[in-house]
Structure formats: structure tokens, C-alpha cells
Amino acid sequence: MSSGNTKLSQVLLFPSSGMAHLVPFVRLANALSDRGISISLLTVRPTITAAESSLLSSLPSSLLIDFPLAPLDPSLFPESSDPVTLRWEAIRRSAHLLPSLISTLSPPVSSLIIDITIASAFLPVAVAANIPCFVFFISFASMLALCSVFPFVPRPIGTNINIAGGVLKIPYSSIPPPLRDPNNLFTTQFIENGRALTLANGVIVNTFLALEPELLAAFSAGEVVPEFPPVIALGPLPLEKKQPSSPSPAVRWLDEQPEKSVIYVNFGSCSVLSMEQIRELGAGLEMSGCRFLWVVKTAKVDRDEKAVEIEELLGEGYVKRVEERGLVVRKWVEQDVVLVHRAVAGFLCHSGANSVMEAAAAGLKILAWPRRADQMVIAASVPRSGLGIWPENWACEAEKRIVAAEEIALKVREFMADEKLAKSAAKLRAAATAAVQEGGTSDQSLRYLITKLAQLCLKWRNQLVLPSFSTFGPPVDLCNFKSTQK
Ligand code: UDP
């Protein structure tokens, strides 16, 4: 990533927290700087996860600007609060610090691209400071649709949610579980962010037309929310250019496997299976007889990961029994490299938005097993787009039900043998490739964004004035969580 050539002003990108946010922001930053837009990334350090820290340290330090946090009293929130959601909250409550930071930056900031999770706190600040602000919605258009209508859905939610006259139907069981609790911190943030979206100059989404055609059309027609800002669907964003200097053990192992023989199993950066489910999955993969590369996590935050041996997790003798055809790893793998490896034929995946988009770009079929958050909404797009299958009876995290080894083995075998699915996934890759090629729908969206940002740079240059910042107080205090949360 370079800082581009438009040095008279810059675009400030602000990912909030979590790898699922940082990864697409870095990809977007790359895409913009490749087209001559001068960019910087606002970061909050230390990061919550080691993976974020490692990704940030791979970027030129001159592109990173530290954003200060106002103190946040953690005792206001339940102890069980998700650390990433709490970090979002800390950033949101520090939005008033943005103008003074921006006033010190050179070149001056001509526009902002902020993460959806902090939108309702930062959009009013940007509007008051007269700085154009785009929101980057890092998930799919289906989640964007849910986010934008959710503030207007009667609560408590007790039923399915129909969007744009039924263009998108989200069953109650797929609604992200925290949203069913009106007192959850995530719910409050989600509602406020959804409501604030109309203040944005545009909403960027890492999806493409062939993946969510009806919904993207409904957004354009104003059928999701009237007067909604332009939805800029520019996915799949290009992957990082920098490959690790030496391949990891996982990739070296893949190098030794036959063509299109391996199922890659990874539940993403922050989803964890129970110990019992890990053992059933281990037994299921073994029973399936298929070759597999499996990344096992036992903690939501990688820094909390205990040095538990694989044998301790999966039982004595497991590694030896599967060594001819299975590799279990406990570390982060370079997924962008794994997904396009010639030995990989399928992806058992939690349906994180980035993982699904990366698989679509690679034309790799998915066996979806969503666990939490937006994963059930994303998983629905897997069969819908022909990218893969979703056995809907496989339990998510909240259900606490265990999917048995025999059932996993059977499904994995069927999935790996399914040639028709491999072909339809390859077809989706062709559509993804066409979308980002010159003149494709995503390429046009990226050009639209670049033109807008470049115009804003020019406007800035011609005006040659700095914004007049008024003093912003902290955002209105959100409800008092301590007394309302369980
Ligand atoms: N990822 C990776 N290696 C891993 C786990 C995840 O490179 O071992 C990357 C993955 O490619 C994706 C991001 O981390 O870009 C995870 O985002 P996603 O939306 O898929 O899932 P989440 O983190 O929300 O669970």
C-alpha cells in the first residue's frame, strides 16, 4: 500500500475493531491508494487481538494514525460483554475527539470512510465539521438491509423480518441472537448505526451484483429504506498483495496433497466451538475419510488462547491416526492463500462475511455452519447464490445442541463428492471476476467512489480552507446498561 499521489488532501479510513473489520478496510485502502487516492488509517492501539496487531505491523507505519480513546468505565457493562463490542463502544464514545485530531493532520482530510459499528457516533461529528463521510458496511447487503430497517421494526422481535416487500426474508431463527435482547449493547449500537445511515454520503459494501442482485436493485430503487444514500457494491475487494515470505506449515502441508482433495475447516477469527463439539467435529472429519486442514480455536480472543495440545483436545492418538490425510493447526493461517490452493476443494466455514466473499472470489464451494452474530443471515446467501450448502439443522452457538460426528461425516462426504456444487461455485467466481474487471459492476462502483473522493479532494484544494470545528461534547450517554443488562 502506498499513500497515493494526491498529496494535497487525504481520505481518512477508520476501521473499528476485529479482524473482520480490519481486513476489508486494508483491502479497500489498497484499492483506493492504487488509484491515486491519498489515504491514512486511523487505528486504536493496543488492538484487541494479536492478529490485528500483526496485520497493522505489516503496513507502512506512515499510513497509521493513532486515535485516542476517552476513558470508558468497563463496570458500566456486564462482565460477559464481548471485548470487541466494548472496544466499538469505547471508540463511539470518543467521537468528540476526532475534530481536534483532524485539525492537526497534514495533508488536510477531505473525506472520511468509517466503519459501520461506529457510524452513529461519527456521522454527526463529520456532518458538523462539514467533512463528507462514507460508511463501510463490512458485511453483505442482506445485513445492511437488516441494519437499515431494524430501527423501525417493532420490538421485541417475535417474528420473521420481511424487507423490501419480501425481496429479503429473514426468519426469526436467523436474526443475530443479540438483537433479540433489546438491552444488549450490540443491539443499541446496531439500532443507532442503522438510524444514522441516512447521514452518510454513501454506503460501501463488499458484495457484488450477481451475489445479491434483487436486494441491490431494491436498494437502488429506494425500496429498502426511502432516500437511502447510494449503496456502493464494489466486491470482492482484492486480496492483500503481500504474501508471507515463507509459507506456513499449513500451506507446506497442502503443497503435498493431491489436487482438489482437501476440505479446509475454519470458523474465523472469533467463533469458538464448545469442547464437546470440537471432539465431535474431530471424530466426524476422521470418519469422513476425506483429507482435511482444520484450524482449531478455543478462545474468542487469540491472546486468551491457552497452550492446549491437540491431543488434549481431541484425545490421545488422534494426530497419529489422521496424519496421512489430516492436519490440525492451532494458529492463524493465511486464508487468502489457502482458499486458492490447488489442493483445496471445499470450505467448511462459519459464514463470516469476509470468508464467504473470499470463497466466492476463489470459486470454492462452501459447507456453511453459521454459529453466531450475522453468520446465519450470510449463510442464507450460500445456497441462494449456488456457492454451497447450509444444513440448517446444524446448531448455532446459542442452541447449545451438539451435532454428532456421524452426521458431520456423512455431510462432509456428500459435500466433497458434489461436482455440481463445485461447478456452480466456479460459475460464481466467473461472475465475481467479471464484476471487478474493467467495466464490470463492482469496477464501476469503485470508479464512482474514486471519482467522488477525487472531486472532494479537488473541492478541498480549490477552497483552500480548513473546516471550522466547533467543540463537540461526548455523544449522548447510551442507556444505563448496568441496571438493564442481565
Ligand atoms: N482469517 C485468516 N486466517 C484465519 C482466520 C481468519 O486469514 O485463520 C481471515 C479471513 O480470511 C477473513 C477474516 O480473517 O478475512 C475473518 O473475517 P470473517 O468475516 O470471515 O469472520 P469473523 O472474523 O467475523 O468471524
Q: Residue whose CA is closest, atom 17 of ligand 1?
A: 20
Residues 35, 172 within the same domain: yes
355 lines ligand 1 (CB under 6 A): yes
Give φ, ψ of 293 to 5 degrees.
Answer: -120, 120
Tens-place pLDDT, residues 300-309: 888 887 878 8
Residues 184, 266 within the same domain: no
Task: Please indicate, yes or no, if residue 485 is contained in any of the structural domains.
Answer: no
DSSP reduced 3-state for 244 = coil
Residues 217, 354 within the same domain: no
**Residue 451's closest CA among 67, 6, 1?**
6
Task: Please indicate, yes or no, if residue 473 is contained in any of the structural domains.
Answer: no
Angle formed at CA 28 by CA 148 and CA 134, multiple of 5 degrees: 40
Residue 241 has pLDDT above 80, yes or no: no
270 lines ligand 1 (CB under 6 A): yes
Q: How many beta carbons lie within 10 A of that of residue 57, not counting itself?
A: 10
Q: pTM surpassing 0.85?
A: yes
What's the CA-to-centroid distance between 271 and ligand 1, angstroms? 10
Q: Residue 242 — very low, low, confident or very high, per pLDDT cuts 50/70/90?
A: low
Q: Residue whose CA is closest, atom 25 of ligand 1?
A: 268
Residues 155, 301 within the same domain: no
Residues 349, 261 within the same domain: yes
Residues 81, 155 within the same domain: yes
According to DSSP, the residues that pair with 328 across neighbouring strands are: 294
Residues 80, 208 within the same domain: yes
C-alpha cell at 358: 473470499
Answer for the pair 333, 302: CB distance below 8 angstroms, yes or no: no
**Total residue count of the chain as it appears in this document:** 486
Residues 372, 444 within the same domain: no
268 lines ligand 1 (CB under 6 A): yes
What's the CA-to-centroid distance between 355 and ligand 1, angstroms? 6
| Nearest atom (ligand 1) to Cα of 358 | 11
| Nearest atom (ligand 1) to Cα of 334 | 7
Number of domains in the chain: 2
Tens-place pLDDT, residues 168-215: 999 999 999 999 888 899 999 999 999 999 999 999 999 999 999 999
Tens-place pLDDT, residues 457-467: 777 666 644 34
Q: Residue 474 — very low, low, confident or very high, per pLDDT cuts 50/70/90?
A: very low
Q: For cell 495440545, name the residue.
A: 309
How do beta strands 365-368 and 291-295 pair? unpaired
**Tell me, what CATH number does 425's domain have?**
3.40.50.2000
Residues 428, 441 within the same domain: no
Residues 253, 235 within the same domain: no
Number of helices and strands in the chain (H, E): 19, 15
Average pLDDT across the chain, whole number: 90
Which one of the listed residues 34, 73, 82, 115 is annotated catalytic? 115
Range of the domain at 372: 249-432
Task: Please indicate, yes or no, if residue 220 is contained in any of the structural domains.
Answer: yes
What's the CA-to-centroid distance between 279 and ligand 1, angstroms? 22
| Nearest atom (ligand 1) to Cα of 267 | 25
**Which H helix or E strand runs over 41?**
strand 39-43
Tens-place pLDDT, residues 313-323: 899 999 999 99
Which whole-number Å values give the CA distances from 350 to 190, 213, 302, 381, 463, in the listed order?
21, 23, 17, 13, 48
According to DSSP, the residues that pair with 40 across neighbouring strands are: 12
| Nearest atom (ligand 1) to Cα of 339 | 11
- Cα–Cα distance for residue pair 307/330, rounded to 1 Å: 9
Tens-place pLDDT, residues 398-424: 888 999 999 999 999 999 999 999 999
Beta-carbon contacts of 220 under 8 Å, excluding residues fewer than 6 positions away, are: 231
335 lines ligand 1 (CB under 6 A): yes
- Cα–Cα distance for residue pair 460/38, rounded to 1 Å: 13
Point out the domain boundary residue: 414, 432, 450: 432
Residues 84, 118 within the same domain: yes
- Cα–Cα distance for residue pair 230/462, rounded to 1 Å: 25
Task: Please indicate, yes or no, if residue 477 is contained in any of the structural domains.
Answer: no
Task: Please indicate, yes or no, if residue 330 is contained in any of the structural domains.
Answer: yes
Mean pLDDT of 248-270: 96
Task: Please indicate, yes or no, if residue 469 is contained in any of the structural domains.
Answer: no
Q: Catalytic annotation on 115?
A: yes
